[in-house]
Amino acid sequence: MQDLKAQTLEMRWPVDLTIGSVNTGGAGRGGFFLGTDLNFLQYYVEGTDDKDVILDYSYDEADIISGESSGSNEVYVAKGTLVGARFYEDELQQKFGHLLNPASIQERRERNRGECLKDIAFPQEYSLIRAMSTEVKHLFPMDYAYIAVYRTLPRLAKRVLNDYEEGNQARSPEERMLRMTLDHAVTTAIYECEPQHVTMARVPASKIFKATNEGEFFYDAETPTAVITLFEIDAQGVVSIPPAPKRELDDSPSP
């Protein structure tokens, strides 16, 4: 999902999820199979541990190699154009469906995106902080986030967790920002009974934009960016700090 790619169920061939992309099945395969309605797809869902995505293709009758396009059948087509994509599970679609819908992201961008920090701020790189489901490992275009100049947030997180457990007030702007994000993640984890994590990523100012609400910002770029976890919160709201990754996030400025 981080690069808008999916894989076929059996052979694990990559599939482009860009709306309007043309699928020919790949080099040497001469086409691909499609179900003609959702009932036909029921046989294939939940066939792996991955998340199922339903892809809607348009095709010409002349491109049908075998099969019948009427009723609940399977057809083998030489090529098809992707016109829609959505998660099979309603809960996933509600939470993450916008990632498969570039039009909704563009609409959000045009309606809500403000000035770019590169044009109005001195630092050329920031830490972006965001609470999200533990299933999500990236910041995606037009995701809300908080920002911090502080470079050693993983070390600061230990102090914030200690104050959180002791009931102490945050002592600095960066600590208050981390505490606010942590409180939000804990509330979400308990309410939705779903583990959350508070994450960070070092991002150039050229990819950060003001949001409508004061103190909030958007990450926006052509591609998602990977995050590291500062806090983990289980479904009961218990907070912990994960072991340090083998490779620490590079704090040096991006070229």
**pLDDT tens digits, residue range 76-96?**
999 999 988 888 887 777 777
Predicted pLDDT at 1: 43
Q: Whole-angstrom Cα distance, residue 40 to residue 70?
A: 12
Q: Which of 24, 14, 25 is nearest to 53 (CA)?
A: 14
Q: Whole-angstrom Cα distance, residue 120 to residue 181?
A: 25
**pLDDT tens digits, residue range 102-156?**
777 888 889 999 999 999 877 789 999 999 999 889 999 999 999 988 667 888 9
Q: In whole angstroms, what separates CA 104 from the centre of its chain? A: 14
Predicted pLDDT at 165: 92
Predicted pLDDT at 28: 66
Instruction: Report the half-sphere exposure of 99 (CA within 13 A, side-chain side).
Output: 20
How many residues comprise the chain? 255
Judged by DSSP in three states, 221 sits in coil
Q: Whole-angstrom Cα distance, residue 113 to residue 212?
A: 7
Q: Is this prediction's pTM over 0.85? A: no
Residue 182 burial (C-beta neighbours within 10 Å; 0-12, 13-18, 19+): buried
Q: Whole-angstrom Cα distance, residue 221 to residue 208?
A: 8
Using DSSP bridges, classify how beta strands 138-139 and 80-87 pair: parallel, antiparallel or unpaired: unpaired
Helix axis angle, 173-192 relative to 153-166, nearest 10°?
70
Instruction: Report the half-sphere exposure of 171 (CA within 13 A, side-chain side).
Output: 8
Tens-of-pLDDT digits for all 255 residues of the chain?
Answer: 444 567 776 667 788 888 888 988 876 678 888 888 877 777 777 666 677 888 899 999 999 999 888 778 889 999 999 988 888 887 777 777 777 777 778 888 899 999 999 998 777 899 999 999 998 899 999 999 999 886 678 889 999 999 999 988 888 888 999 999 999 999 999 999 999 999 999 999 999 999 998 889 999 998 889 999 999 999 999 999 998 654 444 443 333
Predicted pLDDT at 46: 67
Predicted pLDDT at 157: 92
Predicted pLDDT at 70: 79
Q: Which of 56, 55, 61 is nearest to 75 (CA)?
A: 61
Who's near 251: CB < 8 A, 6+ residues apart?
Answer: 151, 152, 202
